[in-house]
Amino acid sequence: MTRARALVLHASRAAVDCVAEHYAAHAPEVEFTHLLDDGVMRMLRAEDWPRAVRRMVAMVDGAREEYGVTCGVLTCSAVPPAALEELKARAGIPLFKIDEPMARMAVRTSRDIGVVSTFPSTKQTTHDLLVAEARRAGVQLRLEEEMNAAPLEALLAGDRELHDRLFLETCDRFAGRGVGVLVLAQVSMARLADQVRGRLGIPVLESLSTSLEVVRHMCAEGR
């Protein structure tokens, strides 16, 4: 039986290995094609949304034509809502951003949500995503947010140990602030979720595991 084919679109090297390993292990029925262009990350940092969307649309078009993908996942959490909607409209295949299922789950879990990010653009996009999900659910949120760029800078420089230490120290800032759930805004943080849960004693959501069922569903629909 031919496996379903899905595209995983990356704008950061930090996301590739963790997503590829998790999806391959937990969705062996899907053939994943991973495409990375970290130049898109520079466009997002500069808030050059039109160029970023054009580049991502070109990547989706190539994957659809050359590899036969029928659905896609965007792993970059820094893409804002308007740019994401444009990308979805122009993609030619069903596509979602990896943190969308996590946001829906967070709003169902608690009205008091902590958010940790390590890429500046991601702080605002995750904030907006959670507020939009709360609006759809008809609830009011209280958001506690921490953004620290140093962990991601260390990870991209190849220092995983320093990334982990700085990231966990950032998460520790949520202790005693009354949050009912902590959202890890970027997929590169997912492998540390269990450690954060142990340190804070609250539910911790990451976009890796929460996105998996959506991928499977989209692949099944596209077969």
179, 201 contact by CB (below 8 A): no
Determine the pLDDT at residue 206. 97
Helix, strand, coil tally for the chain in percent (to 5): 60, 15, 25
Q: Residue 2's pLDDT band (boundaries 50, 70, 90)?
A: confident
Lowest mean per-residue pLDDT among 5-14, 78-87, 188-197, 213-222:
213-222
The whole-angstrom separation of Cα 69 and Cα 64 is 5
| Mean pLDDT, residues 76-95 taken together | 94
pLDDT digits (tens, 9 = 90+) for 24-48: 999 999 999 999 999 999 999 899 9
The number of angstroms, rounded, from the C-alpha of 109 to the middle of its chain's C-alpha atoms is: 18
pLDDT score of 52 more than 80: yes
Q: How high does pLDDT run on average in the chain?
A: 94
3-class DSSP state of 92: coil
Determine the pLDDT at residue 1. 59
pLDDT digits (tens, 9 = 90+) for 96-149: 999 999 999 999 999 999 999 999 989 999 999 999 999 999 999 999 999 999
What's the residue count for the chain?
A: 223
Q: Which domains does the chain have, with CATH numbers?
A: 4-98+209-222 (3.40.50.1860), 100-207 (3.40.50.1860)
Determine the pLDDT at residue 65. 95
Determine the pLDDT at residue 219. 83
Q: Residue 220's pLDDT band (boundaries 50, 70, 90)?
A: confident
Alpha helix ranges (H) inside 71-206: 81-91, 100-109, 120-137, 150-156, 160-172, 193-200
pLDDT score of 223 more than 80: no
In angstroms, the Cα distances linking 73 to 19, 77, 169 are 10, 11, 30
The whole-angstrom separation of Cα 40 and Cα 102 is 23
Beta bridge partners of 141: none
